[in-house]
Structure 1
Amino acid sequence: MAPSRRTLARELESIADFSDPSPDLEQYLTPPEIAAHLCHLAGLQGDLERPVADLGTGTGMLAVAASLAGAQRVVGVDVDPDALAVARDNAAQVGGDVDWIVGDVTRPPLSPDADVTVVSNPPFGAQRGNRHADREFLETARTIASVSYTIHNEGSQEFVESYAADEGGEVTHAFRAPFPIERRFEFHTEARETLEAEVFRIEWR
């Protein structure tokens, strides 16, 4: 039996953060509350009954959450092998059965048109050179997923809905959630900042 959303969030609180986060990759720890909400919703929608791919898995938060929430097969993909080492340790510590793969999410080592559920917390595009980075994750999701769940910066709803509609998809669920960020890079001026993230479920045809 899958854990409740509250229980899942509590289990995910022990997920370790990046040991040496990269500003260029916008490596931030996905909040346990968001991961639990997203994966609990995926379970209610029956989306964890198919294989799950976590694109840009980072610390493995979403991949581990999907596994704990009931997904039978989960793959976590990230371009950073150091991040995957953290993710692997987190899965061993917290639980969850996940296969970890080093790979570029824009060229994922997964078959096109595969029947998978994608979960992802893409870069928000805050760094120079990373603008529209979340679009690349949606483009990959469109090619490999039946359904995707992605976390975006505040104000992304019009873009996400427009992109999905143009590609034959449909946003079926959307919710907002606080995304706290601790000071970790030189350009951060506050000890702690809370963004208002937006999460979208898209069905792809």
Structure 2
Amino acid sequence: MNKKELAMLLAKIRSFEKPKAEYEQYQTPSELAANALWQVYMDGNVVGKTITDLGSGTGIFGIGALILEAKRVIFVDADKDALKTAKENKKYIEESLRKRFNANFVNRDIIRYKGKSDVLIQNPPFGVQKPHIDKSFLQVAMNIAPIIYSFHKIESKNFIDSFARDNGFKVASVYKMGFPLKAIFHFHTKKNYFVDVGFWKIVKTANRKV
């Protein structure tokens, strides 16, 4: 499996049937997801790992991690419809690859989730509909895993640096990417949007327990 093959598989994943504005449900492009997951893979944080996909949506990151031989993936989302689609996507990829994946699906409000894993991957809402929801995602993530990969607007860099430091974590790296957003909600005034985002790797420091 190489990055191009991964992107081709992820392109087969179904998007949200009826995207919900309150959850800021934008489908992550397959190529962008593959680029991010490949970085996690090259860091040695996929193979044999238990991974949480927090705010998993239709499952593109968690399924990608399973394709790259994660031991188990826990998909967590507050939207039961998105989780249903994620389950169907997992089954479709399993049938395509003739493999069975180890996965759990948890329908729960993110701030109430208390699980643990080796690694966490998330693409949280940017906070347009619910201000500071991205901060809430980070706070929850820090109680789940010692290694976190998270998308945020690149303009949030100073905040994420200080928030990580204040909570016993540190930023190990950040990769700038462009995130295309299609006009899918009634309040959009342009056909397409393009947001500069960062893909952060945030790791626990020695004095922080998870």
TM-score computed with the length of structure 2 as normaliser: 0.89
Question: Structure 1 residue 34: deviation in Å?
Answer: 2.3
**How big is each residue's C-alpha offset from its partner over 1:62-94, in whole Å with a ceiling of 9 and x where there is no partner?**
111111122110010001100111111111122
Matches within 5 A, 1:138-153: 138-153=138-153
Q: 2: CA distance between counterparts of 1:146 and 1:157?
A: 20
Give the number of the structure whose residues are more often helix, by fraction.
2
**Does structure 1 conserve the Cα–Cα contact (< 8 Å) formed by 2:174 and 2:201?**
yes
**Residue matched to 1:104:** 109
Q: 2: CA distance between counterparts of 1:19 and 1:115?
A: 29
RMSD: 1.4
Query: Aligned residue pairs: how many?
Result: 198
**Residue matched to 1:174:** 174
**Residue matched to 1:119:** 121
Please give the secondary structure, in 2, of the residue aligned with 1:151.
strand
Please give the secondary structure, in 1, of the residue aligned with 2:154.
coil
TM-score computed with the length of structure 1 as normaliser: 0.92
Q: Identity, % of aligned pairs?
A: 32
Change (3 A) 1:160 1:102: same
Q: 1: CA distance between counterparts of 2:7 and 2:161?
A: 28
Question: Structure 1 residue 115: deviation in Å?
Answer: 4.3
**How big is each residue's C-alpha offset from its partner over 1:169-193, in whole Å with a ceiling of 9 and x where there is no partner?**
1111111111111111001111111
Which stretches of structure 1, 4 residues or more, deviate above 4 A after TM superposition? none
Amino acid corresponding to residue 20 of structure 2 in structure 1: S
Matching of residue 81 in structure 1 with residue 80 in structure 2: yes
Q: 1: CA distance between counterparts of 2:164 and 2:35?
A: 22
Q: 2: CA distance between counterparts of 1:82 and 1:134?
A: 21
Unpaired segments ≥5 residues, structure 2: 95-99, 206-210
